[in-house]
Structure 1
């Protein structure tokens, strides 16, 4: 089963090379020859990250050449649910017969996933390509599956693959669970122990949020390094391509209670881009307790992530609750050498979601930690209006102040941490929830807006109820009431109240944090209000 809503992800341009025709050997593999896509051209013997870098550099030296051969009507017309019924035969999983700790399944092209992706396996430093076989798939639901060859009279043997699924005994030693998926443009997802798919990551974002058309690079080729029998990590190399850039990527994936992906990237630009988004994250936010309008939904909250977290180079921690407003919102958080940023799912209470199928309380948070100095730039948050939970309408990424040139490669590394609570070791206060309603006391005044913000954390939980905790609250426009802070024993934290008398319909930028004397007790809560 592919990750939920994968079929609704936007796709990039198609691939530029053809699948190598190979024969014989385990899994139908043979060493790739000089002209094969799986080969390390010009470097005999050992395959390394440098091999992918050379491929990316050579690719960028020429014009972009898409490779999206026509699909038979049956595959081209598949809708999301029909595509999900193209099922890889579990007993055909790569490395299953060898009882290795990781297994691999491959997605076929079809429906929205039209880009042809070459898959290679690396063993003893040698890369070989995996040929497409229709016999790898069944079609139909789990109760009525048939071999693909039984459903269609002719399945083209060059149909090709669309992506990769990794399996690993994540939750039980005797069951191989889905660990990660690379499918569609440069999107990938992974899960930690005990959680379900939710947030997505991307290899690169180009011109996201601009008035001009966004460019979606694709991973056109993958190389998977065969793991040892006692391996606890797996390495995947990927070749990225688009009209403006080609790139080499290495993903070191280490599953566990916290699944960690160490990313190494080197980009070669064919032409300068207007906006470059590094380490992009994509998520879904439909509504929550901060939604300032009526939502006709039995569920109190529906989202994969509930806020953007940014830790600047100076150590300031900022939390921006997500919203689903009626208009596009783009927010920038400037920082020098950011320590971390991510889209998090802090609310883990089922009672706040009430969805036994989607289980939004079990969606992972994703935190990006740059490796080294990324210099000056900003974390950009893009929030797109959405009328359905089917669509990923939230994006966050790092935008360097200076766009890379076309004269030399651009390198960067980072760690992506996926967990239920990547902030578990923090002791300071952090935002749990944001609620908004009409102002006033005995009589409600809808022209005023009341904000109720709950902060939690070990430091706050340990404060006696009579501690003189204060709040510092600021606004860009409008008038604020005197803030009130009081203990919240139900959340084992402290609650902040204040009212805003806006000057017009917005936008209004609000900031708040808790303190005791000169000691800052919490992160900075940051919110942009607009009258809906």
Structure 2
């Protein structure tokens, strides 16, 4: 059974303005010497024990909250950690509620000593949900959030990182809004046996120095099949980065392991228009999967909201990076005054070290609205992991609004993909409707010009290409490709690959556009 992944693990729109200081009474005085090896040791020991399902401890009044009400539970600003130290960072917490019903242990590291941060009902204001008289003293934290002055150096009310639910976490850079989520690990995503969701059960957060510009977070991950020690190094900036280092221990075999998983939402866009009339031309947190192979081939896969569960995979040897990208960055692309999808960052997973052979897998899940994350991508190693095995992981996540900066000057990008019927108007004539469809793809890049003729390299499976034409587009100073195609079996997805090359030298000029026409 497949689980839809709720975007409401995180609030997409709310950004709390939290200031203040935490008194010494906020800290538990029980402490111990700490290093990352302690988390590794705990993870290893957990892997040798039977998995224990975490206990849920919240009363029905909190468990039955709707998400709109859960948003009304506020952290009291005066209780924010590190506010009394003139730190750039502020640390705040989430209350348990709704399906965030399992407490998470949170510790602060001061001078290599770890102190548990004890839950205190006075941290939170429950009056907006009329639960101010509820006895919550035996509850715990559901997660935490980090603030940093990323947009204005004189203000510290910018929320730049949040960890809430399972092993989910999100971050933003300058002028960005929360979009897609990252996860610690994905297990059996999309499998009929059901997905396993590992969770971060405990965090250790290093208290930053007053002028420190990075934050170090350690986490202990646990699930029925694995346990793991994680180190997240968060550097807020114009393009915020999170370097992830992990050591994973397997207590049971895993059928499909997903490393560096990213979870997003795609409802509709020009490549797959809305089935109902909507004034917004697109609605998505990401609109494409981008991959950089070890041979420097760039691959662009526009996302779909399919009618049936869909899997796509790209077999690779030690890839350099992959990510879910929000390529359309103008307000006119979305026309949404509330959600501002043009401010959702692309997230690029830069692979650090040799990941050997495996595949980037993309899972697309049907969804009827934007409240569910229906897009998942991750790296699946070819190696199968059994009980007793270990895995070391290292990668860096880049949160950016400037996707262009990743590309070399000699590679053109597919900056837009539009779906059309095959009866495209040309020379004021309309071709006879023959049942074909067409993708209209605009490629742009500094090396493209009208004076350099191009040829189109194309291929298709589960169908046939009727025609494939390239036309210079002076508006974008690039080339437009119109590929008309027929589908052989409507019950199967049809994959099409398009690439531009120099007509004279055969030099590849563009990324590989790897589109999929969904099964109908």
- The question of a shared fold, defined as TM-score above 0.5 by the shorter chain, is answered with yes
Question: 4+ residue runs of structure 1 moved beyond 3 angstroms?
Answer: none
Given the alignment of the two structures, is residue 185 of structure 1 paired with residue 179 of structure 2, yes or no?
A: no
What is residue 36 of structure 1 aligned with on the other side? none
What is residue 264 of structure 1 aligned with on the other side? 245
Task: Measure, in 1, the Cα distance between the counterparts of 2:280 and 2:345.
Answer: 19
Matches within 5 A, 1:131-530: 131-140=118-127, 151-176=131-156, 177-291=158-272, 294-426=275-407, 427=409, 428-440=411-423, 441=425, 442-443=430-431, 445=433, 447-460=435-448, 463=449, 465-505=450-490, 506-516=492-502, 517-530=505-518
Q: TM-score, normalised by structure 1?
A: 0.89
The structural deviation recorded for 1:229 is 1.2
Q: Is the 8 A contact 2:126 2:132 kept in 1?
A: no
Secondary structure (helix, strand or coil) at the match of 1:59 reads helix
Given the alignment of the two structures, is residue 84 of structure 1 paired with residue 65 of structure 2, yes or no?
A: no
Secondary structure (helix, strand or coil) at the match of 1:174 reads coil
Task: Measure, in 2, the Cα distance between the counterparts of 1:25 and 1:438.
Answer: 65
Task: Measure, in 2, the Cα distance between the counterparts of 1:458 and 1:32.
Answer: 60
Q: Is the 8 A contact 1:163 1:184 kept in 2?
A: yes
The answer to which of 399-408 and 240-249 deviates more is 399-408
Q: Is the 8 A contact 2:252 2:388 kept in 1?
A: no
What is residue 28 of structure 1 aligned with on the other side? 26
What is residue 7 of structure 1 aligned with on the other side? 8
Task: Measure, in 2, the Cα distance between the counterparts of 1:265 and 1:220.
Answer: 15
What is residue 61 of structure 1 aligned with on the other side? 48
Task: Measure, in 2, the Cα distance between the counterparts of 1:409 and 1:399.
Answer: 15
What is residue 125 of structure 1 aligned with on the other side? 112
The structural deviation recorded for 1:372 is 0.6
Structure 1, unaligned runs of 5 or more = 10-23, 34-38, 40-44
Task: Measure, in 2, the Cα distance between the counterparts of 1:386 and 1:242.
Answer: 27
The answer to which of 130-139 and 383-392 deviates more is 130-139
Task: Measure, in 1, the Cα distance between the counterparts of 2:23 and 2:299.
Answer: 54
Secondary structure (helix, strand or coil) at the match of 1:445 reads coil
What is residue 13 of structure 1 aligned with on the other side? none
Q: Deviations over 1:492-518 (max 9, x none)?
A: 321111210222324221101101131
Task: Measure, in 2, the Cα distance between the counterparts of 1:295 and 1:431.
Answer: 26
Secondary structure (helix, strand or coil) at the match of 2:370 reads coil
RMSD: 1.9
The structural deviation recorded for 1:28 is 2.7
The 1:496/1:466 distance shift into structure 2, 3 A limit, reads: same
Q: Deviations over 1:386-419 (max 9, x none)?
A: 0001110000000000122322421110011110
Secondary structure (helix, strand or coil) at the match of 1:481 reads strand
Q: Is the 8 A contact 1:308 1:322 kept in 2?
A: yes
The structural deviation recorded for 1:446 is 6.0
Task: Measure, in 1, the Cα distance between the counterparts of 2:42 and 2:341.
Answer: 40
Secondary structure (helix, strand or coil) at the match of 2:395 reads strand
The structural deviation recorded for 1:236 is 0.2
Q: Is the 8 A contact 2:9 2:164 kept in 1?
A: no
Secondary structure (helix, strand or coil) at the match of 1:135 reads helix
Task: Measure, in 2, the Cα distance between the counterparts of 1:229 and 1:328.
Answer: 49
What is residue 98 of structure 1 aligned with on the other side? 85
Task: Measure, in 2, the Cα distance between the counterparts of 1:396 and 1:348.
Answer: 21
The answer to which of 365-374 and 422-431 deviates more is 422-431
Structure 2, unaligned runs of 5 or more = 11-21
